[in-house]
């Protein structure tokens, strides 16, 4: 008999790496374990559309208003309500839907407040990073109590989850240390190149011509795919191309893509103030079919981010043989080892020197590309994804010791 698994989605396509990771996980889990698992999707988006040719999963829409969500939360965490629920009926639409579908286990593909509403259903949760803990100075974490919201979700959900999935051993260690989660409940499934990049990575001149015409791309550019948020450090890239063009007479542009989270206009204004308006290309969110060509025709992937150490773009660059420059932060060297050139996210000259090294030293470039391939090859995908099935089977074996079925 198949285990019935609900994969819970409350993110949109413009969520950047989180969405790409979601699609990748969905395809891998549904294809690898289709004989053992009955998988469906529960989504808070009424018009959910997943960009995949290989997924044909039943999708159920969950709508809960503020009061319904608040009551569901209080049922679990307010002592008075917990006592009163013995005498009064407090409906939980999420649990009711799971019961109706006979769901055995819920898999949350990221930190979700809906994990806090589960009272009687086991779940697995993914915690891809702890950047809100590492970058307290940035407004995206301090405004609107976002730090408190995210920290409450992670602290409460990791205590109750039967398993926690993350993307690197360094994050596993931090989750265990900060939130007191037993390490044997935390499993590592590394990032992979997005399915879109994997699908369209074979070079097609027609697609690249479409891309050049659509975006009027420059001849020489560095590439930075990231949502427009302060901690992504886009301003740094503008400073880098300014130095290259003005001080070293090296013609260089920057191509950015990603969804705007309220910070894009400030970056555009800064490019004007520094005289780099004509060297800065802002593409917003890019279709999957074009993304590989933005990598392939760039000088390098440049990531001066303050978040990490795990992000999807370096893995995509490794697959496409594109050099990577990455911030030397948060134990990132344990993840990327010698596959990237490390830069100081406070000092643009460190990236300037790195780009000059890639342009002038073919041995450095070849070494980076070779080490990137080794990073990709070092990850045993089957072994990692088998962990997901092992979590489910471990749970089933425990339940079988006490459950009696007629």
Sorted by where each starts, the structural domains of the chain and their CATH numbers stand as 3-190+380-400 (3.40.50.2000), 195-378 (3.40.50.2000)
- Give pLDDT, residue 366: 96
What DSSP element (H or E) covers 119? none
Contacts of 297 (CB under 8 A, 6+ apart): 208, 217, 221
Helix (H) or strand (E) run with residue 172 in it: helix 169-179
Q: Give the tens place of pLDDT for each residue, 90-108.
A: 678 999 999 999 999 999 9
**Which pLDDT does position 365 carry in this prediction?**
96
For the beta carbon of residue 218, count every other beta carbon within 10 angstroms: 17
Say which residues have a Cβ less than 8 Å from residue 378's Cβ, sequence separation at least 6: none
The pLDDT, as a whole number, for residue 17 is 60
CB 191 within 8 A of CB 336: no
Q: Is the dihedral of CA 119, 125, 130, 131 positive or negative?
A: negative
Distance CA 295, CA 1 (A): 45
Give the torsion sign (CA, 194, 294, 201, 209): positive
Question: Quick one: tokens of 269?
Answer: 């204004």
- The angle that helices 362-378 and 312-320 make with each other, rounded to 10 degrees, is 110
pLDDT in tens, 137-188: 888 877 767 888 889 999 999 999 999 999 889 999 999 999 999 999 999 9
Please list the ranges in the chain whose pLDDT falls under 50: none
């Amino acid at each position: 008999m198949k285990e019935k698994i609900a994969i819970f989605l409350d993110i949109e396509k413009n969520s950047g790496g989180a969405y790409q990771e979601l699609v990748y996980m969905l395809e891998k889990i549904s294809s690898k374990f289709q004989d053992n698992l009955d998988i469906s999707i529960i989504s808070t988006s009424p018009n959910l559309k997943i960009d995949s040719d290989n997924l044909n999963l039943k999708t159920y829409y969950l709508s809960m208003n503020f009061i319904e969500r608040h009551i569901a939360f209080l049922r679990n965490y307010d002592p008075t309500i917990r006592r009163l629920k013995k005498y009064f009926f407090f409906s939980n639409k999420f649990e009711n839907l799971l019961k109706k579908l006979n769901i055995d286990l819920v898999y949350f593909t990221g930190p979700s407040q809906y994990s806090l509403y589960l009272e009687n259903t086991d779940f697995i949760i993914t915690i891809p990073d702890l950047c809100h803990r590492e970058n307290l100075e940035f407004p995206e974490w301090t405004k609107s109590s976002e730090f408190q919201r995210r920290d409450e979700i992670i602290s409460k959900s990791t205590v109750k989850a039967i398993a926690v999935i993350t993307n690197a051993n360094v994050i596993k260690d931090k989750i265990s240390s900060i939130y007191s989660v037993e390490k044997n409940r935390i499993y590592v499934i590394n990032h992979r190149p997005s399915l879109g990049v994997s699908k369209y990575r074979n070079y097609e001149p027609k697609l690249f011509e479409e891309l050049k015409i659509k975006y009027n791309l420059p001849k020489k550019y560095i590439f930075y795919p990231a949502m427009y948020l302060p901690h992504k450090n886009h301003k740094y890239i503008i400073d880098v191309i300014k130095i290259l063009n003005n001080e070293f007479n090296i013609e260089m542009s920057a191509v950015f893509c990603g969804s705007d989270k309220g910070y894009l206009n400030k970056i555009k204004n800064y490019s004007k103030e520094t005289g780099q308006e004509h060297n800065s290309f802002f593409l917003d969110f890019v279709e999957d079919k074009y993304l590989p060509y933005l990598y392939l025709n760039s000088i390098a992937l440049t990531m001066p981010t303050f978040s990490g150490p795990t992000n999807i773009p370096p893995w995509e660059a490794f697959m496409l043989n594109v050099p990577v420059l990455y911030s030397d932060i948060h134990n990132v060297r344990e993840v990327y080892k010698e596959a990237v050139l490390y830069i100081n996210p406070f000092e643009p000259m460190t990236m300037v020197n790195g780009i000059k090294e890639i342009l002038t030293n073919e041995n450095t470039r070849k070494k980076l590309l070779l080490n990137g391939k080794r990073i990709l090859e070092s990850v045993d995908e089957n072994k990692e994804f088998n962990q997901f099935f092992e979590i489910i089977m471990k749970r089933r074996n425990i339940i079988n010791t006490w459950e009696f079925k007629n």
